[in-house]
Chains A and B, each alone.
Chain A
Amino acid sequence: MAVITLHDLAGVLTECAGADEDVVLTSESLDVTFTDLGYDSLALLETAATVQQRYGVTLSDDEVSEITTPREFLDLVNQSAVQAA
C-alpha cells in the first residue's frame, strides 16, 4: 500500500479545493491548522474522499472531521494503510 507524503497531500488538496498562490504546503505547514491554511471542512471531506479512492484506505467521517492539521491527516491515512495491509 502506497504511503502518502506531504507533497502528495498538497497535490490532492489543490485538485479538490483549488489552488491559492499564497499558500504552499511545506514541512513547516505540517502543524498549521487547515483552517489557517484556508481549507474548510468541505475541502477536507472532498480531499479525504479522493485520498481514500486513490490510496485504497477507508476513513470514517468521524475520523476525517477530527483532523485539524496536515500531520494528523497524513498520520491517519498512513496508519489506516498499515492496518489495511
Chain B
Amino acid sequence: MTATATSPAPGTAGDTTRPSAVVTGIGVAAPNGLGTEAWWQATLRGESGIGPVTDYDASRYPSRLVGSITGFDAAEHIPGRLLPQTDRVTRLALVAGAEALADAGADPAELAGQDGYGDYSLGVVTSNATGGFGFTHREIRKLWTEGPQKVSVYESFAWFYAVNTGQLSIRHKLRGPSGVLVSEQAGGLDAIGQSRRTLRQGVKLSLTGGMDSSLDPWGLTSHIASGRLSRGTDPATAYLPFDARAAGHVPGEGGAILVLEDATAARARGARVYGEIAGYAATFSPRPGSGRPPGLERAARLALADSGLTPESVDVVFADAAGTPAADEEEATALRSLFGPYGVPVTAPKTLTGRLYGGGAPLDVAGALLALRDGVVPPTAGIGRPVAGHRLDLVRDTPREGPLRTALVLARGHGGFNAAVVVRAAGAS
C-alpha cells in the first residue's frame, strides 16, 4: 500500500486499515422489558415502565415515580453462590451479560482456547454511576444498629462501581483488558469507546455497556438531592424532554450489555453482526458561566469525524434528552447546528424507562442497532407540547419506518461529561 498525501495516518479517523469494532450480541434489562426482544417490542409499542415506587412507602418523598424492573427473580438467573455477594445492579448486569454472550453465540471459555485468541484476548469494560446502593444501604444500617461485626464482608466490593465488570469477568473468565467508566450518564458511551480501544490493542472480544440500579430509599433520596428529578406524579407526563412542560427526569434502573468484537474475528467465527461502532468521542464542557460553549456539539462532530462520516449521512439521533429546559435547549441548539432545523429525526425512547444513569446510553446504542436492523425509529413518548424554538424533528408516539444506515447516540453526564457514538449498520460502509 502506497501512502499519499491524502491518506489518513494509521489509527486515525478515516483509516480503513484500522480494525473495526462490531456489536454481535445484545442483552437488556429495562423497566419496560427484561430481555432484548421483550424491551424492543415494548419500546416500539410505546409501553412505559415508569410508575410509582412499590417496594416501600414513598408517599412523603417529593419525587415518587421511578422506572423499575418488575418481576425480576434473581434466584432464577443467578447461581446461589453469587446471591449473598451481589447487589441488584450486579445481578441485572450478570443476566444481561449472559444474554448478550448467548445472543452472540460466543462461549468465552471455548474462544479463549482457539487460534488467534488466548487467555487475555477477552475483556469487560462497563459503565456504572451509582454502585451497589441497596446492598450498601442494608449493610450501613447494620453497621449503625448492630455493629461492625454484622456487616457483610461482601460489602467490601458489592458497593463498588467496578463490581459489575469484576463479576462479569469472573463469571465468564474474561481475563483481558478490563475496566469501569464512571462519568455519570455519559459513562455508557465512554465504556463502549474504551472497549473499542481495547480491541484496537489486540483484544478480540469485549463485553461492554453499562448497568445501574439505585432506587432503594437511600438511592432515591440521593437522586432527589441532585435537584434534577421531576416531581410529577403522572407517569405519562413526569419526564418530558423537549416539551414545554419539561421539569426534570424520572430515575430508572437497568441498562444494556453488548458484545463488541473485532470485525475480522467476528467474521472468522461466522458471527451475526448488528452493526459497527464506527465513531466515538468524548468532551468536557467548560464550567457554567465561563462564556464558552458547552461540549456536546463538539463531541458529536468529533465522533462523526472519527467515523469518517458527515452529518448528512446520519439517519437518526438518539438524544440525551435530559428533561430540563436549559439542558434540552442546549441539546436542541447542538442538533440544529449540526443538522439544521428539523434536519434529522430525533428520538428519546428513554421517555419510556426514565434515565438509567450508567445504563442509559448503552440501552440507546442497543436501540440504535435494532433500529438499523429493523428499519424503524422507536418513538419518544408523551411529548404533547414540543418546544417550538427547538425546531427538532422529534419522532413522537409512533415508530417511524424507513431505511436506516447510520445513527448518532448522544449522552451527557452531570458535571460536564459529553459523549457521542456513531453506529453504522452491518455492511453499510
Residue positions of A touching B, CB distance < 8 A: 14-21, 38, 42, 45-46, 49, 52-53
Q: Which of B84, B149, B150, B156 contacts A17 (CB 8 A)?
A: B84
Query: Closest CB-CB distance, B255 to chain A, in whole Å?
Result: 24
Does B85 contact A42, Cβ atoms closer than 8 Å? Answer: yes
Which of chain B's residues 326-353 have a Cβ closer than 8 Å to chain A?
Answer: none
Question: Does B289 make an interface contact (CB < 8 A)?
Answer: no
Whether the pair A20, B153 counts as a contact (CB closer than 8 A) is no
Please name all residues of chain A whose beta carbon is closer than 8 Å to the beta carbon of B154 when the two chains form the complex. 42, 46
Q: Using C-beta atoms within 8 Å of the partner chain, give the interface range for chain B.
A: 10 to 19
Q: Which residues of B contact A45 (CB under 8 A)?
A: 153
Work out how many contacts link A and B, with CB atoms closer than 8 A.
Answer: 34
Residue of B nearest to A38 (CB): B81
Q: By the criterion CB–CB under 8 Å, are B81 and A49 in contact?
A: no
Whether A49 pairs with B84 at a CB distance below 8 angstroms is no
Residues of chain A with a CB closer than 8 A to B79's CB: 18, 20
- Looking at the complex, which one of A15, A20, A49 makes contact with B149 (CB distance below 8 Å)? A49
A52 to B147, CA, bound (A): 14
Interface check B10, CB cutoff 8 A: no
B244 interface hit (Cβ, 8 Å): no
Within the assembled complex, what's the spacing in Å between the Cα atoms of A24 and B192?
Answer: 41
Across the interface, which residues of A come within 8 angstroms of B153, CB to CB? 42, 45-46, 49
**CB-CB contacts below 8 Å: B75-110 with A:** 79-85
Q: How far is the CA of A42 from the CA of B166 in the complex (A)?
A: 15
Judged by a CB distance under 8 angstroms, whether B152 is at the interface is yes
- B150: A residues at CB distance < 8 A: 53
- Known interface pairs A15-B84, A46-B152; 13 further A-B residue pairs with C-beta atoms within 8 A, sorted by A's residue number: A14-B80, A17-B81, A17-B84, A17-B85, A18-B81, A18-B85, A20-B80, A20-B81, A21-B80, A42-B85, A42-B153, A42-B154, A42-B156
Closest to B80 in A: A19
Instruction: Report the Cα distance A82→B189, complex, angstroms.
Output: 59
Contact between A16 and B149, CB atoms less than 8 A apart? no
Residue numbers in B under 8 Å from A16 (CB-CB)? 84
A-B contact pairs, 29 of them (CB 8 A): A15-B84, A16-B84, A17-B81, A17-B85, A18-B79, A18-B80, A18-B81, A18-B82, A18-B83, A18-B84, A18-B85, A19-B80, A19-B81, A20-B79, A20-B80, A20-B81, A21-B80, A38-B81, A42-B85, A42-B153, A42-B154, A45-B153, A46-B84, A46-B152, A46-B153, A46-B154, A49-B149, A53-B149, A53-B150
